Amino acid sequence: MINRRQFISLAALAAAPFPALADVIIESGGELAGQATVLGRLPADLNGVFYRNGPGRFELGSERYQHWFDGDGFAQRWQIAGGKVSHAGRFVATQKFEDESKAGRFLYPAFGSYFERKRYKNNDSINSANTNLLPFNGAVYALWEGGSATELDPQTLATRGIKTWRSDLKAMPFSAHPKMDPDGGLWNFGTAPGADKLVIYRLTAKGEVARTAIIPVPQLNMVHDFVVSGPHLIFLLAPYDFESGPGRSLRDCLQWAGERRPMRAVVIAKESLAVRQVFELPSRSVFHFGNAYEDGGCTRFDAILYQGDALLKTTLDARQALRKPGDGDGSTVQITLDYATGQAREARLFGASEFPRVAPQVVSARHRKLLVLGAGKHELTLDSVNLIDTDSGKVDGYAFGAGWQVEEHVLVPRRGARSETDGYVVGVAQDTHHGQTVLTVFDAHNIKAGPMALARLPYRAPVCFHGNFLPT
């Protein structure tokens, strides 16, 4: 039974898994590979690779990063084929990772931890490639948000190098949350800290730059994700000021200004790549979105909103994160932007939650189902998988219970799926009691029945942020 009025926030998520996460890395030695033991029934029509990425290294030379976003990218692939599940993972060989490994200590600034023992050429010199892993155009891309994508071999995950989509766009910020288009291409954006410029990319399915634009937007700070409807690109801009200074990490430059400024919703028209309208909402912060669609003269979309500065909740300083549990809980909200009245309305869909996803076939179209992880009432971590009907508000959910840390789950449609629930929900969870990382498979039509199959690794793998399933 899922309690929809929970008051434990993502704060808990950051605080709880860190010690375990550090253990994993120190033992991993840089590469992981293994066969999972499958319990339950793996569907015969579920075959493919689940590509995932997250921060894998938090400690070097007896120093420790202070923010969950700082660790170096550790790319992972879970292959589901013929009823068997295998796993492999390795660090993305970024310049930063290679230089720091050689030096035996941190050299460059990370998002929330400041080091500058070595000067560097540009943002790609400090690119940690740690946020998402996107199969696209025959390759996979380890994504960060402050610089280029890093191309990896889809079989071995060996690093091929920085990806420059077009020579004049070298080293441009390319966010970790591109949105796939029905034609196989994608939309993405980028922001450079303090530059107040929003970069828009439209790539074709072949990875060619079809369109790009630079849109000036004042006070454009901390934009992690966006959402796309048929005709619009929608951004929520939380009220952060950018105050740089010597010895400050990027996180330290982002000063919460929620007492002084509202949150803004900026709507860009795809046709013109210009701002169509800006809406004001009560000040909150945000990382992630579900999906957007047009409904008459309105755009509706889902987002997970936090009271106050959500970056406090992803810090690895447990005292800071836990100081006020319940203060600043994230909740899943449907926002409606009404162009005629200029008003933004909100409807609450779910309590403390994170990692929203929708089925791939409904991205930028009308959706009715939103998948989120929920944070349990008594557990200081995300521990449940929930499919929300965004029209009725009904929730089909399953809680893993004590000792589990649940990571992002994705919807995997059956071939020729006739609805958003005609398929599976695939994800990963950490069984901390047994020290095992587990692939989970649910019937998207019946989450509350629990996993159809669990594929247990004989080891713990680093916690991931985001990933994508590539069917085969």
Strands lying side by side in the sheet with 285-295: 285-295, 298-306, 330-338, 343-350
Choose between 99 and 317: whose C-beta lies nearer to other proteins: 99
Shortest Å distance, C-beta 195 to other proteins: 5
Task: Tell me which residues in 177-216 interact with other proteins (CB under 8 A).
Answer: 192, 195, 197, 199, 214
Please state, in angstroms and as integers, the Cα–Cα distance from residue 358 to each residue in 123, 242, 285, 288, following that order: 31, 32, 21, 12
Residue 162 touching other proteins (CB under 8 A): no
Shortest Å distance, C-beta 161 to other proteins: 12
Choose between 169 and 275: whose C-beta lies nearer to other proteins: 169
Shortest Å distance, C-beta 95 to other proteins: 9
Shortest Å distance, C-beta 92 to other proteins: 18
Half-sphere exposure of 37 (CA within 13 A, CB side): 5
List the one residue from 167, 272, 392, 472 that touches other proteins (CB under 8 A): 167
Cβ within 8 Å of residue 273, ≥6 positions away: 200, 211, 213, 215
Nearest residue to 48 (alpha-carbon basis) of 455, 358, 468, 465? 468
Shortest Å distance, C-beta 171 to other proteins: 5
| Residues 281 and 334: beta-carbon distance below 8 Å | no
Report the DSSP pairing between strands 466-471 and 48-57. antiparallel
Taking residues 209 to 248 in sequence order and writing x for each that binds other proteins by CB under 8 A, - otherwise, the string is -----x----------------------------------
Nearest residue to 203 (alpha-carbon basis) of 172, 228, 166? 166
Shortest Å distance, C-beta 273 to other proteins: 13
Choose between 192 and 365: whose C-beta lies nearer to other proteins: 192
Shortest Å distance, C-beta 174 to other proteins: 11
Choose between 247 and 416: whose C-beta lies nearer to other proteins: 247
Shortest Å distance, C-beta 172 to other proteins: 5
Choose between 192 and 275: whose C-beta lies nearer to other proteins: 192
Residue 168 touching other proteins (CB under 8 A): yes
Residue 173 touching other proteins (CB under 8 A): yes
- Count of residues interacting with other proteins (CB under 8 A): 18
Query: Which region among 168-176, 292-300, 306-314, 378-386 touches other proteins (by CB under 8 A)?
Result: 168-176
Choose between 190 and 467: whose C-beta lies nearer to other proteins: 190
Structure tokens at 209: 């730059």
Shortest Å distance, C-beta 291 to other proteins: 28
Task: Tell me which residues in 106-125 interact with other proteins (CB under 8 A).
Answer: 116, 119-123
Per-residue exposure over 57-78, b if at least 16 CB sit within 10 Å of its own CB, e if not? bbebeeeebbbbbbbbbbbbbb
Shortest Å distance, C-beta 120 to other proteins: 6
Give kind and range of the element (H or E) at residue 319: helix 318-322
Taking residues 119 to 158 in sequence order and writing x for each that binds other proteins by CB under 8 A, - otherwise, the string is xxxxx-----------------------------------
Distance CA 326, CA 377 (A): 10
Per-residue exposure over 130-158, b if at least 16 CB sit within 10 Å of its own CB, e if not? bbbbbbbbeebbbbbbbbbbbbbebeebe
Please state, in angstroms and as integers, the Cα–Cα distance from residue 241 to each residue in 259, 309, 310, 386, following that order: 12, 12, 14, 34
The structure tokens 């940690």 sit at: 128
Taking residues 334 to 373 in sequence order and writing x for each that binds other proteins by CB under 8 A, - otherwise, the string is ----------------------------------------
Choose between 88 and 171: whose C-beta lies nearer to other proteins: 171
List the one residue from 20, 169, 253, 298 that touches other proteins (CB under 8 A): 169
DSSP state for residue 11 in the 8-state scheme: H
Query: Which region among 161-169, 322-330, 452-460, 463-471 touches other proteins (by CB under 8 A)?
Result: 161-169
The structure tokens 């996803």 sit at: 357
Choose between 102 and 121: whose C-beta lies nearer to other proteins: 121
139 strand-pairing partners: 136
Alpha helices in 200-293 (DSSP H): 250-253
Q: What is the Rg, in whole angstroms, of the alpha carbon atoms belonging to the chain?
A: 21
Count of Cβ atoms closer than 10 Å to residue 295 Cβ = 13
* Residues contributing to the site for other proteins (CB under 8 A): 116, 119-123, 167-173, 192, 195, 197, 199, 214
